[in-house]
Amino acid sequence: MYGGYGQSYQEQRLQQIMEQKQLKDFMRMYTNLVGRCFEDCVSDFTSNKLSDKELTCTTRCTLKNMKLNERIGQRFAEENAKLMEE
């Protein structure tokens, strides 16, 4: 065994790759969320602050997308559990 805690080098490397992929996926999701909400909600570029309307829109957009991603994750977990039972 190369690594600590009883993990081989290959297991540690696989874990590292999976963590990197998860971080990359999260960053992609975050970037898409920011872009989508910005495009949908921000229209006044005459000020360096968001208007009340823009702030409300971006808050709702962010919450809506976070809830959507949470539901997708739950459905994925449910389907994965069903596959594991088979």
pLDDT for 44-80, tens place per residue? 999 999 999 999 999 999 999 999 989 998 998 999 8
User: What is the distance in angstroms between the CA of the first residue and the CA of the last residue of the chain?
Assistant: 33
32-45 burial by CB neighbour count: b if 16+ within 10 A, else e?
ebeeebeeebeeee
Number of C-alpha atoms within 13 angstroms, CB side, residue 34? 6
The larger pLDDT score, comparing residue 46 to residue 9, is at 46
Residue 54 has which token pair?
A: 């823009």
Q: Please tell me the predicted confidence (pLDDT) of residue 71.
A: 94
Supply the Cα-derived Rg of the chain in whole angstroms: 20
Say if residues 15 and 7 touch (Cβ distance below 8 Å).
Answer: yes
Q: Please tell me the predicted confidence (pLDDT) of residue 85.
A: 86
